[in-house]
A and B are shown apart, each in its own frame.
Chain A
Amino acid sequence: MSYQFAWHPQVWTLLAPMMVTCGAALFILMAELFVKNVAWKWPALFGLAAATALVLARWNTPLAQAEEALWGALRADRFTLFLQVAILLAAALSILSAHSYGALSSTRRGEFYVLVLLATTGMMVLVSAGDLITMFLGLELLSFPTYVLCGFLRRQIKSNESALKYFVLGSFASSIFLYGVALVWGAAGSTRLVDIGAAAPTPLLLLGTLLLVIGFLFKVGAAPFHMWVPDVYEGAPTPVTMFMATAVKLAAFGAFTRALIVAFLRDSLPLEGILWWLACVTMIVGNLSALTQVNIKRLLAFSSVAHAGYMLLGLTAVAASGSTDGAAAVLYYLLAYTFMNIGAFTVVMLLGRRAEGGLLFERDWSGIARKHPILGLAMALFMIALGGLPPTAGFFGKYSLFRTAIDAGLVSLVVIAVLNTLVSVYYYLRVIVAMYMRPEREPSVPVLESAGRAHAFDGPGAMAAEEIASAPPPRLSERGAWAARVVVLICVIATLWLGMGPSRGAVPGMSRIMQWAEDAVASLR
């Protein structure tokens, strides 16, 4: 295949948002060298806002010629638009609440925003990619900054281990994905999703597709490829965890959905059966493992595995029925999940005052709702929403997922999912019970494990030994706590609105966002 180069002015419209986020990252990287003590979150947030405006500006502009000029490597459809806006929103909320995380705002603060912006660029590439190689590049551009973000607290052993584990398993998944790309390319003669969807099914193509699916499952953290999730989520700094749990999931699920609908769903491949079992195993493993967790971050990590299972249920419905309603429900659920999770992690950050010390919620959070009534109430709301009870976004999200699955004839799987939801309500309620119904405990200073285990390396060429030896526990700066409170407020409103909005009309009635999600899925080709 030979490409004729044909540049079209529309290409700028398509590329502009990614160029803005990438440009903002490079700007902060350079400016930080010359200007000290600047609140770098403002340029970062400004970059994200500008990118959002540029994405929204092409609301009614079909960019067919731009797609043509880029040989279909990037898609400018509604699907891209929906997910890019959601990703930019998640990134902005993460940055805002990171402002209240003492350890991040004290040292090397500019780099944090640079990395988040670069990862956001990668996510935007990933969700708009209409080509496997572009998808791979987006995936890597998303992953590399995230590996570094996990290890951002260099003096903490947990943060470093989290980075290592994410790096090893993330790279492993990327390699598997890439091998899938190679085989699919060899079999289909093209890496474009549309061409792959039309290619003749050979064993090579099927093998390649399976490898690609495994790569995606690793990235979204679905069982049996979820083993990295709890450790990585626990060890990473909380703002990074919320960024990973929401934005990365949005991007990976978005790309997976697009690849499934445009390319993979073919009669020759038993994907429906595979997805059925994956959804089932992921829900059960996630929920059962979450039951026994004592650390709130690990609990939320396993809960995110379980939620990946619910979303796989929606994709199974797509595979089973051929209608794309399931994918629209997945998009809606992703959005609801983003707000619930960012809200929950922000409260975790605010309540776990001594950052990584006070996260054993049954012990450390006992009766904490009396001391922090508003935060307690917000956390209770997020727990209820994650458990899928009305009147929250989680309820309507689960409702529409389960309904499309029943429409697709997956009754047994929906029964399993409902049972799982009931199990999950138990462990979410454990958090609420600990906060509201236990006696308030005397404050004690938790021993910071990492400080005891860290020791300076004093061989030749030791680097900044004193920097390692005395690792002060990262504390929440009271001065900056307003940002996190704003994030909590936004998430509370969004969680309630996404849950109440649709039910004002008839119950299956479409809120505007559900309509957008359906438009987005309908625009896939």
Chain B
Amino acid sequence: MVGLHEYLILSGVLFVIGAVGVLTRSNGLILFMSLELMLNAVNLTFVALARYTGQLEGHVFVFLVTAVAAAEAAIGLAIFVSLFRLHRSINVDQMNAMGD
């Protein structure tokens, strides 16, 4: 029987995988996918909790989060495209124009 607990654990694991991905990967696009994974893990939490408690709010939150994630995707891609024109790479490890 798959209950609320399993879903919460799954979404927690997905969130942590996403977070580790953001912190360790150097390819811009993979980093970006990790960010999206984190948001989707949150969506899973919302849906699971909404189903469990019978509150409709959770589903509405998912809509909001999806739209926010899309806007974030658009801005992120735009920044990557802009950076790629200067750097010809989206490897985050090479971003060291600043500092001493």
Interface residues of A (CB under 8 A from B): 1, 133, 136-137, 140, 144, 147-148, 151, 154-155, 157-158, 160-165, 167-168, 171-172, 174-176, 178-179, 181-183, 185-186, 189, 191, 230-231, 234-235, 293-295, 298, 449-450, 453-457, 463, 468
Is there contact, CB below 8 Å, between B45 and A164?
Answer: no
* Bound-state Cα–Cα, A179 to B42, Å: 5
Q: Which of B50-86 contact A (CB under 8 A)?
A: 52-53, 55, 57-58, 61, 64-65, 68, 71-72, 75-76, 78-80, 82-86
A140-B71, A147-B79, A235-B98 known; A468 vs B86 contact (CB < 8 Å): yes
| Chain B neighbourhood of A231, CB < 8 A | 98-99
| Chain B neighbourhood of A185, CB < 8 A | 46, 49, 57-58, 61
* Bound-state Cα–Cα, A172 to B92, Å: 15
B34, closest chain A residue (CB): A172
Is there contact, CB below 8 Å, between A457 and B53?
Answer: no
Is there contact, CB below 8 Å, between A463 and B42?
Answer: no
| Chain A neighbourhood of B52, CB < 8 A | 186
Is there contact, CB below 8 Å, between B39 and A178?
Answer: yes
Is there contact, CB below 8 Å, between B88 and A455?
Answer: yes
Q: Which of B22, B68, B78, B85 sits near A457, CB closer than 8 Å?
A: B85
6 residue pairs, one from A and one from B, having the closest CB atoms: A175-B38, A186-B49, A182-B45, A160-B83, A161-B95, A178-B42
* Chain B residue total in the interface (Cβ 8 A): 44
Question: Contacts A175-B38, A186-B8, A293-B100 given; 12 further ones with Cβ under 8 A?
Answer: A1-B55, A140-B68, A144-B75, A157-B86, A164-B83, A171-B72, A172-B19, A181-B61, A182-B42, A182-B49, A455-B86, A457-B84
B23, closest chain A residue (CB): A172
Is there contact, CB below 8 Å, between A172 and B22?
Answer: yes
| B97 in contact (CB, < 8 A) | yes
Q: Which of B1-29 contact A (CB under 8 A)?
A: 8, 15, 18-19, 22, 28
* Bound-state Cα–Cα, A191 to B61, Å: 11
Is there contact, CB below 8 Å, between A155 and B58?
Answer: no
Main secondary structure of the interface of A (DSSP, over half): helix
Is there contact, CB below 8 Å, between B86 and A164?
Answer: no
Instruction: Choose among A160, A450, A454 the residue with the greatest number of B CB atoms under 10 Å from its CB.
Output: A160
* Bound-state Cα–Cα, A299 to B35, Å: 30
* Bound-state Cα–Cα, A167 to B92, Å: 12
Is there contact, CB below 8 Å, between A161 and B39?
Answer: no
* Bound-state Cα–Cα, A101 to B16, Å: 42
A161-B95, A172-B19 known; A179 vs B38 contact (CB < 8 Å): yes
A-B contact pairs, 10 of them (CB 8 A): A148-B79, A163-B79, A164-B95, A168-B31, A168-B92, A171-B35, A186-B45, A231-B98, A450-B97, A463-B85
B58, closest chain A residue (CB): A185
* Bound-state Cα–Cα, A454 to B82, Å: 12
Q: Which of A144, A148, A178, A456 sits near B65, CB closer than 8 Å?
A: A178
A1, closest chain B residue (CB): B55
A158-B98, A175-B39 known; A189 vs B87 contact (CB < 8 Å): no
Is there contact, CB below 8 Å, between A151 and B82?
Answer: yes
Q: Which of B19, B64, B87 sits near A157, CB closer than 8 Å?
A: B87
* Bound-state Cα–Cα, A122 to B18, Å: 26
A162-B98, A191-B57 known; A167 vs B75 contact (CB < 8 Å): yes
Is there contact, CB below 8 Å, between B82 and A154?
Answer: yes
Is there contact, CB below 8 Å, between B72 and A144?
Answer: yes
Is there contact, CB below 8 Å, between A179 and B41?
Answer: yes
| Chain B neighbourhood of A178, CB < 8 A | 39, 42, 65
Q: How far is the CB of A359 from chain B (nearest CB, A)?
A: 11
* Bound-state Cα–Cα, A183 to B7, Å: 12
* Bound-state Cα–Cα, A179 to B13, Å: 12
Is there contact, CB below 8 Å, between A454 and B98?
Answer: no
| Chain B neighbourhood of A161, CB < 8 A | 83, 95, 97-98
Q: How far is the CB of A295 from chain B (nearest CB, A)?
A: 7
B81, closest chain A residue (CB): A463
| Chain A neighbourhood of B83, CB < 8 A | 151, 160-161, 163-164
| Chain A neighbourhood of B99, CB < 8 A | 230-231
Q: Which of A133, A168, A230, A450 sits near B35, CB closer than 8 Å?
A: A168
